[in-house]
Chains A and B, each alone.
Chain A
Amino acid sequence: MSASGDRAGEQPRAPRGPAGPIPAARAIDRLASSVREAAITAALAFGLFLPLIGFETVTNMRNEVTLKTRWPLLFAITAAVAIGRLAYMLTLGPALGRRRLRAAPAPSAWRARAGGLFVPFAIALVVLYPALVIVLNGSSGALKWIDNFGIQILIYVMLGWGLNIVVGLAGLLDLGYVAFYAVGAYSYALLAKTFGLAFWILLPLAGILASFWGILLGFPVLRLRGDYLAIVTLAFGEIIRIVLVNWVDLTNGYAGIGGIPRPTFFGIPFNAGDDGFAAVFGLEFSPLHRTIFLYYIILALALLTAYVTVRLRRLPVGRAWEALREDEIACRSLGINTTNTKLTAFAMGAMFAGFAGSFFAARQGFISPESFTFIESATILSIVVLGGMGSQIGVAIAAVIMIGGTEIMRELDFLKDIFGQTFDPTQYRMLFFGLAMVVIMVVRPRGLISRREPSVFLRERKTISADLVKEGRG
């Protein structure tokens, strides 16, 4: 019964009468409905933008707030929205509708082979990335590309992979993931400054401390599911941040912690002194050395995260996580201790956030609670969701698009030539972020890569369609 209902819903009927005899009338019909749709959209846009764009408060010379109107801009934007909607209704909309009706084509052999080569190719690319950038930009321009793009994206790839264990595999919605990132960062900063311990000792220690906090969070939320779990984890993230803000004796509050020791190259610091890296290796001093070193550290950490996750998925604990996401009651009936299984997922996810956090502190040299706000958790979670929950490659691609995309907005100076010198593309970063999310979710509702790869097979590896895979309810 439901199957026939679905089918009826999927096949949109022609607007009026049987198709065929009078195409001109149908075209006019479609045009009319598109115009109506565009008019409604324009009215909505007008209502929305009237207070946001139509009016502007300006403080004048005498420090009085005055109201200015911007009618031309408002009407221009409304018209742009209406025309955009009309164009969508006439061209893209019907095409998308037709595509949805077609059955998904079976992946061809060519695509399968390209998919197999994708991972080695991507790894080779990220390993050679610094050299590539130096060749293309020269050593002065390369710093920005390695630091702002390479390192920044890799941090988020690593965080995305860590959260992927909790959300994608175990199906536990965690909105406070940034708390563990903060624990890792502050662990490194405080222990390195107080006890003078080295980066390589503190890196595992920060991971252990973060996973300890992961277990601590895990206990109270074991009984919670779905939305309730999400709210408590959200609160946990805020608690950690507020403790960091208010425990001034330990964390120095909003002022943050500066002068955090930088990682050294097996004891050789990256400075211009006589025993610095450049002098020891007979090179000319350049800040690029440290940046490249940091790039390879975070690359190694991210690859470690990926490797461990891939292995875990094939081990009983990984299968138990996925089984937990599929059906918790069935897990209990099979003798799986769901408490331990959930706690290991929280601990594992938190550990990788702790690694990333201590790397972040070492790279920045300065940390403050500002770096660990809810928006960070939201960014990491959206990377996981957009990438396709459970898919490592999808998460990596999503991190490149979302973080690389927003970073590249800083570079688009040529837009100033189009929109005038006052135009600052950086300010549109969040708009781009939101737009990218909406587009991905419209085109691929279950994320970029939504198919599940089975962890083991008897005869042949068949990917599992996203429709069958559960999202988990906590």
Chain B
Amino acid sequence: MAVAGNTLLHVEHLTMRFGGLVAVDDLSFDVNEGEITALIGPNGAGKTTVFNCITGFYHPSEGRLGLRHGDAAAWDMLDALTDSGARYRSQRGGTLFLLERMPDYLITHQARVARTFQNIRLFPGMTVLENLLVAQHNRLMRASGYTLFGILGLSSYGAAERAAIDKARAWLERVGLLDRADDPAGELPYGAQRRLEIARAMCTDPVLLCLDEPAAGLNPRESAELNELLLSIRADRGTSVLLIEHDMSVVMEISDHVIVLDYGVKIADGPPRAVRDDAKVIAAYLGVADEEEVAEVEAEVG
């Protein structure tokens, strides 16, 4: 099966079962490079489960999750890689990863997929700056000679740490938290914690940023700021974004592509405008049983 060239993440037949419960059922979709893709659906539709499968926190019961770095021709290796049993394969400036075979930390470290959490998970007792340095752990670890040179105080680590701090400073400036750099993260207001979590994820240099309800609990002004931030991340760095969101103002305004899940099954997939008018989506959201009633409801709502 050919995968389109600009596809970044290719999800095929993803199924996740918890005992008898099928949380995600035979889900396939693509995330295109440089686009903002929204994953929406009513509560309990399995959106976060999909995220957990992509980022390695769950190992899917079935399915294939391919992720490409570099050259689009890498997708030609998909079947060969699947048969080989390896986690990834490189050729001519392109690398293909099979995420379902990788543990969570390698998905961030090697495949460069970063994520945030629905209920914010910062390190509350560490400062804002420390939070951003922890995100650059692997690069700093290498620079410190896996601690050995660092203990001896060799200068190569000092330079790497300064670079890491400069990078953190740049992100703090961008999310408007530079003044709070030396405050503990747990003391920040809620909206600032959300922005910090995104900045922290971006400090891992991801190719795909997965955001689990980034606008939850934000007021309209903060939501608008979030939209700007996400658009600027995409514009400046070409980072693709996959987000779960309930706030339709965020979804409809910034996403290029919307996927709708209901009871673990994909019910719609397309540009935001088309999805918004889809009868099945309306039925899923309004909880109406069949299509005739949808027409009635639509007529009532206008």
Contact = CB atoms under 8 A, between A and B. Distances in A.
Interface of A: 308, 311-312, 315-317, 319-320, 322-323, 326-327, 329-338, 344, 452, 454-462, 464-465, 468-470
B182 A326 contact: no
Contacts of B147: 312, 315-317, 344
Contacts of B165: 456, 458
Given A315-B151, A316-B150, 13 more contacts: A315-B157, A322-B125, A329-B57, A329-B121, A332-B104, A333-B104, A333-B115, A336-B134, A336-B138, A454-B127, A456-B165, A457-B181, A470-B124
B9 interface: no
B204 A456 contact: no
Given A311-B150, A312-B151, A326-B123, A334 B183 contact: no
B129 A462 contact: no
A111 B126 CA distance: 24
A330 B123 contact: yes
Contact of B129 (A316, A323, A457, A469): A457
A320 B144 contact: no
A462 B184 CA distance: 9
A460 B125 CA distance: 17
List 5 A-B pairs, minimum CB-CB distance, nearest first.
A469-B125, A335-B108, A335-B109, A326-B123, A316-B140
A326 B184 CA distance: 12
Contacts of A316: 133-134, 136-137, 140-141, 144, 147, 150
Interface in B197-226: 200-201, 204
Contacts of B133: 316, 319, 456
A329 B138 CA distance: 16
Given A327-B123, A452-B125, A468-B187, A333 B108 contact: yes
B130 interface: yes
Contacts of A329: 57, 117, 121
B135 interface: yes
A329 B140 CA distance: 20
Nearest to B131: A323
29 contacts: A311-B150, A315-B140, A316-B133, A316-B137, A316-B141, A319-B126, A326-B124, A326-B126, A327-B122, A329-B57, A334-B105, A334-B137, A335-B137, A337-B105, A452-B125, A454-B126, A454-B129, A454-B182, A456-B130, A457-B181, A457-B182, A458-B129, A458-B181, A458-B182, A459-B182, A464-B126, A468-B124, A468-B184, A470-B125
Contacts of A455: 130
Contact of A456 (B115, B129, B151): B129
Contacts of B136: 316
Contacts of A470: 124-125
Contacts of B125: 322, 326, 452, 464, 468-470
A316 B160 CA distance: 11
B160 to A, nearest CB: 9
A459 B181 CA distance: 8
A317 to B, nearest CB: 5
A312 B148 CA distance: 10
A344 B144 CA distance: 15
A464 B127 contact: yes
Contacts of A327: 121-123
B94 interface: no
Contact of B134 (A320, A338, A344, A469): A320
Contacts of A315: 140, 144, 147, 150-151, 157
A317 B141 contact: yes
Contacts, number: 137
Contact of A465 (B105, B135, B184): B184
Nearest to A467: B186
Interface string B96-115: 00000000111011000011
B55 interface: yes
B164 to A, nearest CB: 9
B169 interface: yes
A422 B259 CA distance: 84
Contacts of A320: 134, 137
Nearest to A468: B186
Contacts of B181: 457-459
Contacts of B129: 454, 456-458
Contacts of B144: 315-317
Contact of A323 (B109, B123, B138): B123
Nearest to B127: A454
Given A334-B200, A462-B183, A322 B123 contact: yes
B181 to A, nearest CB: 4
A461 B182 contact: yes
B151 A335 contact: no
Given A330-B123, A333-B121, A335-B109, A319 B134 contact: yes
Contacts of B105: 331-332, 334-338
A312 to B, nearest CB: 7
Contacts of B117: 329-330, 333
A350 to B, nearest CB: 16
Contacts of A459: 181-182
Contacts of A317: 141, 144, 147, 150
A315 B122 CA distance: 19
Contacts of A454: 126-127, 129-130, 182
